[in-house]
Chains A and B, each alone.
Chain A
Amino acid sequence: MMDDLWFSEYHTKNVRFSIRVNRQLHDEQSEYQHISVYESPDFGRFLTLDGALMLTQRDEFIYHEMIVHVPMAVNPGVRDVLVIGAGDGGVARELAKYAGIQSIDVVEIDAHVVDVCKAYLPDTASGFADKRVALHFEDGMRFVRHAQSQYDLIIVDSTDPSGPGEVLFTSEFYGSCLSALRDHGILVNQHESPFYPEDAKAMRGAHRRILSAFPLSRVYQAHIPTYPSGHWLFGFASKGLHPVRDLQAREWKALGIQTRYYNTNLHRGAFALPNYVEEQLKLDE
């Protein structure tokens, strides 16, 4: 019989999501946030920032595959990638599967997140081992502001807009991303969730602000069991490439990349959204 020890996250004031834990492996307050790692019977190890669950060993593949392979299948010719946030290394790990990619700049504001992930979550942190990955510990907004037409893809793997991720949900940030991208550039971002009102507000805000900068902006979805409501969204914005019409399915399949969640049929389906989500997004279009 083990101790009755649970990690709980409030998905709303009245809804709580709990995972039984065996033990806490790490706990620290960095300059930016509270970082913890737990070990659990059903989800393996998991990382939390300011009490919000970021990733578990069990379901992180869904998030990381969906944030990387969707834009890569639209433009398999991507050479230079900028990743903002993503201190766990999961995005870099998926990107490293593409031989055609030449450079991966990962900009994480909090070096402690990377250290903790290297120590406790080697499955995702392995992404940092690739020679093409350059880690920059600085403010993502500042970094992207100084970049001009030098990336084919920007991936924004942020926390919620209430924490240090705030700046990554602003018009000024999306405007800077637009300038940092080349002509066929794509911006993909963590786009919150449509279900609970607070998350939905963040989702609508992000959509509205991306639209103010990018000519094309669509939203796609995935099922992520440990995120609030389990229904999670990503944003796909570009200077022209359409996420479904420009999908290069044959070319992508030819690359022979192994995935557990993503495939090109699912890619098309992921952009088909429930009515209530479409309606909320349309309010701001």
Chain B
Amino acid sequence: MQQDQAPLYEALEAVRNARLVPLDVPGHKRGRGNKALTEFLGEQCLSVDVNSMKPLDNLCHPISVIKEAESLAAEAFGAAAAFFMVGGTTSAVQAMLLSTLKAGEKVILPRNVHQSVINSLVLCGAIPVYVSPQTDKRLGIALGMAVADIKDAIAENPSAKAILINNPTYYGVCSDVAQITKLAHAHGMRVLVDEAHGTHFYFGKAMPVTAMAAGADMAAVSLHKSGGSLTQSSMLLCGGNINADYVRQVINLTQTTSASYLLLASLDISRRNLAMNGIEIFEKVKRFAQYARDEINQIGDYYAFSSELINGDSVFDFDVTKLSVNTLDIGLAGIEVYDILRDQYDIQAEFGDLGNFLAYLSVGDKNKHIERLISALCDIRRRYKRERSGLMETEYLKPEVVTTPQKAFYAAKRSVRLESCAGGICGEFVMSYPPGIPILAPGERVTPALIEYIRYARQKGCMLTGPESMDVSRLNILEEGSYDG
């Protein structure tokens, strides 16, 4: 098999053309039983929304075309094994953690991990050891993991089973994955990489090092982000020291037995496209991003940051396809600019946080849309610029983990007004979305500073999710004696 082939996609086309009589599920029968849906999504789409069958293999136990497609993907990514995932990168992250950690075992990880990582800890009962991320004071963003911090965490927790790295971050910041992997392996720990934003590292030219090339054990890659596959499709990559057959068993614990062939085919087609055209595709994205940064930095007051942040450690490398813009000197929070862009200029950016917003660029962008973004930023400055004062400096709030996320999640709790929560142990998540990084996780102590941060984020229009109380006016606090620390 060669990278210009797409065995799963080809098998689907063959099944479509074979015109089998569909006396099986799905019940829409190639769309004929659901006219409104067919009209909405198109006949092409519905005619390949089929169930697993002999010519199409089975994701739970792949022996033919899915196996071939996964092998081609493994080869393309430089991995020993690759799994097609249909539950989002969340399912890939879960599989990494659940196949590595058992209840009571420790994992070293940065605080700025995705929600899915801490959710996975609720499932497996592992104990998180958070490494404080280095932060950039000016930008108010968490950076990568510093090697010295990892060394300290390893020394303090020699029994930890794994280190999880978030690489690159949403903003494009990369850690020294190769060095961290060397350290971890020297102490018998696995390296798991949440590489959700790093698919293109495997295919572009002069990109930051990939998890697989750095020798990491497992990596979760969101092909649907920079890789162009359908939303919710993803891949899990394994290095040579991983028992892939055991990983498959773990995946099957929570994976659907009716995996969507639309998602699977999109992974196969995207892998082929990336392998064949990746260099050209991401050179174009880099040019877009660099042009936009140059123009935005000329406007004044905005700061579109890039590789000048590289410091050899907590910013070991930078993903120059990312277009992140700091807005604090305009006198607006990033989330405010993000909202104005959509409400006044019909431009939907990826996310905004307190100090920055991120525009997601890809091969699908057009010059004129980049021009619209730049001109809109120019116009926002003209219309809204105000004094910077009054904007809170964001700072990293170090969590105090009192008990494991699993124990806290299942402990007895009572609902308490937010203002009165200080000192209590939180039984639920508080996320600010985007970018989906926890403010509080189950098992952590609530502090006055955290309460203030939640209020501020709410006031700035961030979407706060997680707690049972939808507006985060209350939190579930653990009853005394209902958990052990």
Interface contact B368-A145, CB-CB below 8 Å: no
**Partner-contacting stretch, out of A124-132, A170-178, A189-197, A247-255:** A170-178
Tell me, yes or no, whether B387 is within 8 Å of chain A by CB.
no
Chain A interface SS verdict (over half): helix
Q: Which residues of B contact A164 (CB under 8 A)?
A: 368
Q: Mark B365-379, 1 if CB is under 8 A from A, else 0.
A: 001100110111011
Look across to chain B and name the residue whose beta carbon is closest to the beta carbon of A176: B375
Q: Which residues of B contact A33 (CB under 8 A)?
A: none
CB proximity to B under 8 Å, residues A146-193: 164, 166-167, 170-173, 175-176, 178-179
Q: Which residues of A contact B367 (CB under 8 A)?
A: 139
Which of these, B344, B345, B374, B383, contacts A145 with CB under 8 Å? B374
Interface contact B368-A175, CB-CB below 8 Å: no
Shortest C-beta distance, A168 to chain B (Å), equals 10
Which of these, B295, B344, B368, B371, contacts A171 with CB under 8 Å? B344
Known: A145-B378, A170-B345, A170-B346. A175 touches B372 (CB 8 A): no
Q: Mark A209-225, 1 if CB is under 8 A from B, else 0.
A: 00011000000000000
Q: Mark B381-392, 1 if CB is under 8 A from A, else 0.
A: 011000000000
Tell me, yes or no, whether A142 is within 8 Å of chain B by CB.
yes
Look across to chain B and name the residue whose beta carbon is closest to the beta carbon of A179: B382
Tell me, yes or no, whether A116 is within 8 Å of chain B by CB.
no
Provide the bound-state CA to CA distance between A101 and B346, in Å. Answer: 37
Place the interface of chain B in its size category. 10 to 19
Shortest C-beta distance, B85 to chain A (Å), equals 37
Provide the bound-state CA to CA distance between A92 and B382, in Å. Answer: 30
Which of B295, B376, B379 has most A Cβ within 10 Å? B379
Look across to chain A and name the residue whose beta carbon is closest to the beta carbon of B383: A175
Provide the bound-state CA to CA distance between A145 and B378, in Å. Answer: 8
Tell me, yes or no, whether A107 is within 8 Å of chain B by CB.
no
Q: Mark B200-244, 1 if CB is under 8 A from A, else 0.
A: 000000000000000000000000000000000000000000000
Known: A141-B372, A145-B374, A167-B372. A172 touches B382 (CB 8 A): no
Provide the bound-state CA to CA distance between A213 and B379, in Å. Answer: 9
Which of A139, A142, A172, A213 has most B Cβ within 10 Å? A172
Which of these, B295, B375, B382, B383, contacts A170 with CB under 8 Å? B375
Shortest C-beta distance, A149 to chain B (Å), equals 12
Known: A170-B345, A170-B346, A212-B344. A175 touches B371 (CB 8 A): no
Provide the bound-state CA to CA distance between A242 and B295, in Å. Answer: 35
Which of B375, B376, B382, B383 has most A Cβ within 10 Å? B375
Interface contact A172-B378, CB-CB below 8 Å: yes
Known: A139-B367, A212-B344. A172 touches B372 (CB 8 A): yes
Look across to chain A and name the residue whose beta carbon is closest to the beta carbon of B378: A145
Q: Which residues of A contact B376 (CB under 8 A)?
A: 170-172
Shortest C-beta distance, A143 to chain B (Å), equals 10
Known: A139-B367, A171-B345, A172-B345. A145 touches B375 (CB 8 A): yes
Which of these, B345, B368, B379, contacts A139 with CB under 8 Å? B368
Shortest C-beta distance, B464 to chain A (Å), equals 30
Interface contact A166-B378, CB-CB below 8 Å: no
Look across to chain B and name the residue whose beta carbon is closest to the beta carbon of A139: B371
Q: Show the binding face of B for A, using Cβ within 8 Å.
A: 295, 344-346, 367-368, 371-372, 374-376, 378-379, 382-383
Q: Show the binding face of A for B, using Cβ within 8 Å.
A: 139, 141-142, 145, 164, 166-167, 170-173, 175-176, 178-179, 212-213
10 smallest CB-CB distances across A and B, nearest first, come from A175-B379, A172-B375, A172-B376, A172-B379, A141-B371, A167-B368, A145-B375, A141-B375, A139-B371, A176-B375
Apart from the given pairs A141-B375, A142-B295, 5 other A-B contacts in the complex at a CB distance below 8 Å: A166-B368, A172-B378, A175-B375, A175-B378, A175-B379
Q: Write 15 A-B pairs (CB below 8 A) sorted by A numbering.
A: A139-B367, A139-B368, A141-B368, A142-B295, A145-B374, A145-B378, A167-B368, A170-B346, A170-B372, A170-B376, A172-B345, A172-B378, A175-B378, A176-B378, A212-B344
